[in-house]
Amino acid sequence: MNEISFNKEDILERIYFITKLVQNQKGTTMQGALTSKSDSMGGIFDRFINTISDSLVFEKIIIPKLNTDKEVHVVSDYYYYKPSKNIAGIAPDIFGIIVDGKQIPFTRFNNKWEAVKGMPQIEVKTFKAKDQMISLRNQDYDDEYLVLIDLNLRIDYLVPFLDATILNNALIQKMEMDDSVFIIEDKDSKITRVTPIDYSSNTIGTLKLISITNATDFMKQTTLCKGNISVRRMKEINVRKTKVVKGLLHDKLNTYANPSPRIKKLYEFNEKWKKKTNVGKNTALLDFSADKLDKIEICQYNVSSIVITALEEGCSFNGTALELGKQYTVSFETLDRSGNGGSEYFIQKQCAVYLNGLEDKLIQDLENVIGSVDN
């Protein structure tokens, strides 16, 4: 099982940790590490809520797969420090494991964070459900494990932590608006009133393990965008409600794609495609997945999309199964990196499952650590 749901009780410590992080700002906003954006409490929570995945993916997905009778838990990072090479150094996301109550560190602080020799070094990269790409900068942890997570939070994920005795239904009476004063007519019910907050569910969201690889393989198998190179991705694939009938084309999609030199099961768009769609030399195209590529037809080209259809059963495009007799609009979007001087590696999130998988190796490493612990 690589997908789980989690609730309020599963992330209490992390919510406490982030709340205190907010208070540590001493009344000011918090500057982003890579942007000029400054955040207050809501923005800080949205920025750091991804860290709930660090322990959850191990406690609920990876540790249950271990072949051991011992009680094993993961040690998460609950220290505050500046993760900079010039200050505290960069610590891995997993600090160690606890085996039958004994803590086994994977990293220690000696004026800067240092790896414990012989112990696995693990980075957890979490992406929210709406994210369409996975990216990585080279941060000198090439051989460390890279655990990729898809996090789907309910939009009101903090509601279970609010005090229902204070934010209660009695407040609704105080917020009641006088319709006779402010509304003359509302025949289409465009105006609605405040209703009670729903505190009935403690479920926060779901978490899915996409892949376990390492940074070296990630950088070898993904698309490198050097400084000022933008990246073009497939944004979404939707069934068309009305079919294209006039000027219907019959271009085969495989005419514009070659097998990816990075990952065997993926394809890359070729030079014919770049010319056909007017993609400039300063824009990189991401690899995509497909089944029966030679049986997928392009019906129409638009400014930022194409319309495709399947010629037989079993066709798929970037994880979407294509039903016979239906047309699909594939939308594209470009992330402008023209002002970005740094290099970054990209892959579509749907394609990350094809990265070189190291889950079995990580499990074996963890089992070796557990086996070395004295009873």
DSSP string for 110-154? SSSEEEPTTS--EEEEEEETT--EEEE---S-TTSEEEEEEEEE-
pTM for this entry: 0.90
Instruction: Tell me how far apart the alpha carbons of residues 332 and 326 are, in angstroms, rounded to a whole number.
Output: 20
Instruction: Tell me how far apart the alpha carbons of residues 100 and 70 are, in angstroms, rounded to a whole number.
Output: 6
What pLDDT, in 10s, does the model give residues 179-202?
A: 999 999 999 999 999 999 999 999
Bridge partners, 153 (sequence order): 205
User: Which segments in the chain show pLDDT lower than 50?
Assistant: none
Domain ranges of the chain: 3-158+203-214+355-371, 223-335
| 3-state SS, residue 176 | coil
Could you tell me which of 270, 272, 311 has the C-alpha nearest to residue 294? 311
DSSP string, 35-75: SS-EE-HHHHHHHHGGGGHHHHHIIIIIGGGS--SS-EEEE
Distance of CA 170 to the CA centre of its chain: 39
Instruction: Tell me how far apart the alpha carbons of residues 366 and 263 are, in angstroms, rounded to a whole number.
Output: 27
Instruction: Tell me how far apart the alpha carbons of residues 313 and 292 are, in angstroms, rounded to a whole number.
Output: 9
Q: Within 13 Å and on the Cβ side, how many CA atoms surround 211?
A: 18
Task: Write down the pLDDT at residue 190.
Answer: 94
Task: Write down the pLDDT at residue 374.
Answer: 72
The single-letter DSSP state of residue 129 is T
Write the single-letter amino acid at 211.
S
